Structure 1
């Protein structure tokens, strides 16, 4: 019986340590997946849609948000899109092919990255998928 109590105490202490340090929530967030991550000025998300569907939805979102299309380049495994808001703020978007039914989108608004505008553009693109 003392061995079981030791294991229970160990697990309880481990749980409390992870919870107090915030690592428990990081593990939960990593396990959840599917959420857009904003890191170093770029909004990134993996999507369960093919590259062409995401590309078309992105172009429609740019139109709705009044972002002019400055340049668009198609490669075998990705699309690169450059645009500009009416106020002159640049927009860079990359849609990468991952598998036949999945892709990754990267969005950056402005030189330093504007998270709220990036998320608003991505939310609009998701509405068109």
Structure 2
């Protein structure tokens, strides 16, 4: 079986971006082995723990971003109240890009495409009824 070990974000400021996702997903930071100090107070790596065994941890690593022609990997966030979640994430520094709706047979799905503070795309969708 293949599973996701972690989701890595290439970013300019690991601390700033990790702070956004730490608050957005209510996760905790995990201490990493000591790194050589750099010129700033911004570490080169920040790891956010998974809240359970089913979710991958998130790693924020100071790296140049890939080409805009690459297919991006992003997160799909499920929520009970999409509008409230989008508003909360905007308050934390995200931007709503567009809302989308797609029909699948007898049902329609809606979601909001967003960008985090560094422009990484992610979607917020309504949690499917169980």
* TM-score where L is the length of structure 2: 0.33
> Hey, which of these two has a bigger chunk of helix by percent?
1
Q: Which one has the largest radius of gyration?
A: 1
